Structure 1
Amino acid sequence: MLQSTAKWRILAQDDERAAKLASSLSISMLVARLLVQRGIHTVEAANVFLQKETPAFYDPYLLKGMKEVVERICKARDQGEKVLVFGDYDADGVSATALLVTALKMAGARCDYYIPNRFTEGYGPNKPALIEAKSSGYQLVVTVDTGISAVEEAACASEIGLDFIITDHHEVPPKLPDAYAIVNPKQPGCPYPFKELAGAGVAFKVAQALLGDDALELLDYAVIGTVADLVPLVDENRFLVKKGLRALEASHRPGIQALKTLCGARQKEVDADVIGFGIGPRLNAAGRLDSAEPAVALLLATDKAQAKTLAEEIEQYNQMRQSVVDEMTKEAIMLVEAMQAEEVQRVIIVAKEGWNPGVVGIVASRLVEKFYRPTIVLSLDKEKGLAKGSARSIAGFDIFSALSKNRDLLPHFGGHPMAAGLTMALADVTRLQARLDEYAQEVLTETDFTPTMEIDLVAKVSDVTLEVTRELQQLAPFGVGNRKPLMLLTHVSLGEMRQIGSELNHLKCQFVDGDTSLDAVAFRKGHLYEEMTPQATLSVVGTAEINEWNGHVKPQFLIKDVAVSHWQLFDWRSIQAKQLNTRLAALSDAPVLPVAFQSTTLERLHLTVDVIHHQGEQQSLNGTYIVFLDLPDSRDDFMQFFRRHEGVPHRIYVVFSEEEEAFFRTNPNREQFKWYYAFLQKRGTFAVGELAKKLEAHRGWSAETVAFMTTVFEELGFITVERGVVRFVSDPIKKSLEDSPTFRKKQEQTWLEQMFVYASYEQLKTWFDQVIEPARVKEGAK
């Protein structure tokens, strides 16, 4: 058995509606089910979603405040005023900055940009920067991806005579800044039909209002911020990303070309993953470790040589970021495990002085992955008495709402239901921990702390064809709100399985269904190699992908989770004794019961684990991993073990180590016994020691063979042995060899070895199945 790492929830399947779509659109039932499941019930809606009928962007002037923004920018342009674009240091912020700067220049305005330093200025507009802008001759500041919480900063701008426009997409606080104008689809009274634009998406709408159709030239910028900021890829975002990816693919901007080269994406079609796992993290890296200036400069670069230099600088930042994140994550995990050894927290808050505040969000995400609890990671500045960090959450816990209930402790915070950034007094961290734990106690149950995988489709291996996989790709771009469809494959047999990667930390296998096979890969799941037998029947959750390699194109299944619902037999009969301690120590995810039938086994194998004797205290076998270290004296001992300890184990590991294998010890056949009996009858009396040497020379028997047969005949009453002298008994009572305890023991040892030591895996599995089946039936009837 193998437990899945997440709860699997199969979403409802409406086959009646799906069949109509499949017929009308000439698509597979799998894809039709998926469309219906995502709320697309009509042919018309499906055509729009699949973009067989091209939708249009919403009118940018539907955004509240847009008219005032455009009029003020045009006034600045017409009067030759200097405009400052005030951005943010993440991938959404820098791409939005590059977009609006380019748009303003296309409109003929004089403009520049400013990105605050995460470490010296913090998030969002700040008074010193605005005062400096005013003194440098700027009459207008336009924010992108920031500013919706800048109440004091807006007041400062008004006081110094600086017009302050906010374009943002973050959640709106109770009190809005008193700015010249605000464009944010989430602000009260905004009639815009779509509320989930990214910062770059809002900047793109400003460009549309300002430039009309010429703004389409800026889609390569807009798509970067939209995908990188993990906003829902539905409605207008979906249309923007769909068109934006093609614009990104064709972009001639030197900076974007350099970024694509870094990501290895220049020679292939660009998809959302190229941004999400390649371009986005690299643009983020500069602002996480230092100033985000190189990231904006790279996007705006007009010279290939300059772009190449900046791209190399960005790549160095990215490599440094990866190293810092790995080290901080290890430290954070150790701190969490130390805290949870005392008391398991519902909300994790972990903090340390010296942690880089630029990567705390990534570390928080890693901790959520490992512990699956709402998590806040804080960098402490004891000199200033401040804690600065990021929060990441789990389904069912709105972290923005939870933090909003603690505004008295949080002078600066902002974000979304699943992520937030915050700055607070170091002295208040413990109070925040207590309050969030109490709130989590109210809104979360124990089941909420196990991640849930929502499964879109249930299929067989033979269903995952290249044609169907290509149809599924038509639902891209995938992301938040339109995630890659998760598919559950049932009754899966393994064709082959091996660990891959320099550290053997990935798994590659092949699924088989009759004559059909499907390649599969599980990244960072190389450990599954030791947890699934080749004979296991699997249930597998993952995504269908297209694998192109060396001119060959075929479907491939990317494994996300695996389960085995039946007990599994693992064959350790060839493992050397010195490897056993290591192997046993690795079985730490379930109760392990190493079983010894012989009293000398523990010492003989030099084991350092606790071993139970087969006649030890009665206990349940349910959910356990049983390790049979040696052989019993009889098959009845085996049967008694399963009768004494009730239940069905998840796994059985067989070692069956012996001090000396009976196969290699004497085991004379009945013809040899017959000849020896006739020989004894003829001789009548003789000395055993002398006779053994003669028989060994004459018959090729060992002294042990002679001694064994002699003992059997003595037990049967056919001879007497006294002081090494054998005397034949005339007219003994007729008995069979099986009447001798020594003979029966030898035969039992031989049977045990043939059954358990030398039997094939299939024979062994069949035997254990027959033994375990009554316990399984009994357990299932409860």
Structure 2
Amino acid sequence: MLLSSDLSKPVVLMRTLPEVPFLDHHTLGNFLARRFEAQSEKLSDIPHPNQLKDAQKGAERLARAIRNGERIALVGDYDVDGVTSTAIVKRFFDLIPYPLFTTIPNRFTDGYGVSKNVLERLDADVIFTVDNGINALEAAEVCKSRGIDLIITDHHTPSEILPDAYAIINPKQLDCPYPFKEICGAQVGWLLMGLLKQELELTINMRQFFPFLALAIIADVMPLVGINRAIVKTGLEMMQSSTLSPFVLIRDFLNRSNVSSEDIAFQIAPRINSAGRLEDAKIALDFLLADTTEKAYHQFELLTALNTLRKETEAQTTAEAMTHVNPNDTVIVVAGEHWNEGVVGIVASRLVNHFQKPAIVLSIHNGIAKGSGRSIGAVDLYTLIKAQEHLLAKFGGHKMAAGLSMSSDIVEQFRQGINEAAKHVNPADFIPHNEIVGELEHEMINFQLLELLERFEPYGEGNPRPHFLIRDADVVAVKLFGSDQSHSRLELRPSRVSQKTLELIAFRRTLECPENKKMSCSYTVNKNEWNGRVSIQLMIERVF
């Protein structure tokens, strides 16, 4: 039987293959176009930032602080969205110019967000957050007692009780009229800076931050529809010509004619994330703030080394987590002593992909289980976790991802409780969004198809790259390649009446020929660039 060494690309066996239509270029184009019929993709349709509740109030307070020479501090977050948010705001303040003290909490010594520990090292009149703070009840009380005005900007789902802060800017607040709710932390911070620009009557061009916004939107898995899609398309185009050192370095590293959303998601975002996961997010922030290519190169080398270490740590933790999984659970909950807190979110993603179920992975230290969860399909993981709120010390997040902590002795009670709650979820919600769209005749797989697919980029959440089906193909050959023989190249003949074959690639997966020499699989069609030569590359996604 077929084997997979990479849990992120699982082998899933199905008794019956999905019934999907045969597609030509015209029907495929119509299918993809329908995804965007109800969504405007004009930058001019980005709602005015003053529609964000408290945004005007927050901008006015920051403007007054700047005019009066008050001390301002910024607290970011250690993931890509949080680091990029911090970089956008720091670059904006540099343009004013006005001194801004920036700090990103260390995952291991500070914990998440604007914690009491972080506040102890801040000496400021005004503190504002990006990509965190919506549940910072204690921090708000500390700020109030010290006479500090706290401005929270966040995009995570609020609880019923909000911090007693000077201003809370979050589109997910129930009484916030901002019409587009699914924006990332960097977008909220950017919108606030847009209002601050108006308050200070500056002429700063806010479009210059689009490459950073594109990076954050893609990395934080925001839906690539509507204004998100418009910003990402423009931001990726601007990356191609940007003279800013981090983007010069990204272009050189990718060595492609065009930077795609998938390049960012799979090549760049994991490197930026690795700093906060394993060491300190300041390494990533210094990369995004680098003012010379030499500085950017040095920081990127550090990020690449950390990312290599992250992969090793993640692989080891994933293997251990697999042994803890109860395969009968609807929501996977696993915990382990001293698992690295920085990789538990990725391990959760690996388990989701392998088992096709939501997963929560917890690391136990000193009697406290702390970790992350990832969801699948339309399952609202935040709501499921919230149903167990009485068991939790802290939790936060949104529909597809969440963080949480609890006493280690109630992990089993939590596991049982969340699985009981999951029984009430519609089974259809567990179906992944990257469904197969159809089958393609051999002659349809050509450069015209590649051009058609490029027309609907960027692909990502809300606009998945189309998956196509090969049904009952003859397996002509299976070969392993790479220095460690960890990749597979398959030659398949989809039709017995034709001698034409297709070559498909499975990176980081070792596959072998099934006994009956027949295979059904889904695949994507990708553009491959190597030494200036462009070719079509078919990538295996799932084997049935």
Normalising to structure 1: TM-score of the pair?
A: 0.63
* Cα offset, 1:317, TM superposition: 1.5
Letter in 1 for 2:410: D
Distance 1:289 1:425, change over 3 A: same
Count matched residues: 527
Say whether residues 1:40 and 2:31 are aligned partners: no
2:254 is aligned to 265
Distance 1:254 1:39, change over 3 A: closer
- State the identity as a percent: 35
Letter in 2 for 1:485: P
Distance 1:112 1:351, change over 3 A: same
Question: Could you tell me whether the CA contact under 8 Å between 1:8 and 1:455 is conserved in 2?
Answer: no
Residue 149 of structure 1 is aligned with which of 116, 120, 135? 135
2:218 is aligned to 227
1:31 is aligned to 29
Question: Could you tell me whether the CA contact under 8 Å between 1:363 and 1:377 is conserved in 2?
Answer: yes
* Cα offset, 1:561, TM superposition: 2.5
Mapping of residues 622-701 of structure 1, within 5 Å? none
Mapping of residues 398-409 of structure 1, within 5 Å? 398-409=380-391
* Cα offset, 1:300, TM superposition: 0.9
Say whether residues 1:509 and 2:509 are aligned partners: no
Deviation digits for residues 134-181 of structure 1 (CA, Å, limit 9, x no counterpart):
xx3x21111000011112211221221111111111112112222211
Letter in 2 for 1:410: L
Question: Could you tell me whether the CA contact under 8 Å between 1:511 and 1:518 is conserved in 2?
Answer: yes
1:389 is aligned to 371
Say whether residues 1:80 and 2:80 are aligned partners: no
Distance 1:367 1:146, change over 3 A: same
Say whether residues 1:362 and 2:343 are aligned partners: no
1:5 is aligned to 13
Question: Could you tell me whether the CA contact under 8 Å between 2:387 and 2:421 is conserved in 1?
Answer: no
Deviation digits for residues 572-591 of structure 1 (CA, Å, limit 9, x no counterpart):
xxxxxxxxxxxxxxxxxxxx
Distance 2:164 2:105 in 1: 21
* Cα offset, 1:209, TM superposition: 2.7
* Cα offset, 1:451, TM superposition: 6.2
Say whether residues 1:478 and 2:475 are aligned partners: no
Mapping of residues 185-224 of structure 1, within 5 Å? 185-211=171-197, 214-224=205-215
* Cα offset, 1:73, TM superposition: 1.7
* Cα offset, 1:196, TM superposition: 0.7
* Cα offset, 1:356, TM superposition: 1.0
Letter in 2 for 1:175: I
Distance 2:13 2:450 in 1: 25
Out of 91-100 and 397-406, give the one that drifted further.
397-406
* Cα offset, 1:221, TM superposition: 1.5
Letter in 1 for 2:27: M
Say whether residues 1:419 and 2:398 are aligned partners: no
Mapping of residues 138-177 of structure 1, within 5 Å? 138-177=124-163
Question: Could you tell me whether the CA contact under 8 Å between 2:527 and 2:536 is conserved in 1?
Answer: yes
Mapping of residues 284-433 of structure 1, within 5 Å? 284-336=273-325, 344-382=328-366, 385-395=367-377, 397-433=379-415
Distance 2:83 2:263 in 1: 17
SS of aligned partner of 2:435: strand
Question: Could you tell me whether the CA contact under 8 Å between 1:260 and 1:279 is conserved in 2?
Answer: no
Say whether residues 1:62 and 2:55 are aligned partners: no
Letter in 1 for 2:149: D
* Cα offset, 1:444, TM superposition: 6.4
Higher RCO structure (Cα 8 Å, ≥6 apart): 2
* Cα offset, 1:228, TM superposition: 0.7
Unpaired runs of 5+ in structure 2?
A: 3-10, 198-202
Question: Could you tell me whether the CA contact under 8 Å between 2:71 and 2:100 is conserved in 1?
Answer: yes
Out of 508-517 and 399-408, give the one that drifted further.
508-517
* Cα offset, 1:325, TM superposition: 0.9
Distance 1:83 1:5 in 2: 56
Question: Could you tell me whether the CA contact under 8 Å between 2:368 and 2:405 is conserved in 1?
Answer: yes
Distance 1:363 1:79 in 2: 48
Which of the pair is proportionally richer in helix? 1
* Cα offset, 1:360, TM superposition: 0.8
Question: Could you tell me whether the CA contact under 8 Å between 2:377 and 2:431 is conserved in 1?
Answer: no
Letter in 2 for 1:329: T
Distance 1:102 1:28 in 2: 45
Distance 1:81 1:531 in 2: 73
Distance 1:9 1:102, change over 3 A: farther
Out of 285-294 and 453-462, give the one that drifted further.
453-462
Distance 1:486 1:285 in 2: 29
Residue 417 of structure 2 is aligned with which of 418, 428, 435? 435
Deviation digits for residues 645-701 of structure 1 (CA, Å, limit 9, x no counterpart):
xxxxxxxxxxxxxxxxxxxxxxxxxxxxxxxxxxxxxxxxxxxxxxxxxxxxxxxxx
Residue 557 of structure 1 is aligned with which of 521, 534, 538? 538
Question: Could you tell me whether the CA contact under 8 Å between 2:378 and 2:430 is conserved in 1?
Answer: no
Distance 1:141 1:517, change over 3 A: same
Distance 2:530 2:299 in 1: 31
* Cα offset, 1:299, TM superposition: 1.1
Normalising to structure 2: TM-score of the pair?
A: 0.89
The structure with the larger Rg is 1
Letter in 1 for 2:350: R
C-alpha RMSD of the superposition: 2.8
Distance 1:460 1:280, change over 3 A: same
Question: Could you tell me whether the CA contact under 8 Å between 2:217 and 2:228 is conserved in 1?
Answer: yes
Letter in 1 for 2:172: K
Out of 296-305 and 470-479, give the one that drifted further.
296-305
Question: Could you tell me whether the CA contact under 8 Å between 1:9 and 1:452 is conserved in 2?
Answer: no
Distance 1:507 1:132, change over 3 A: closer
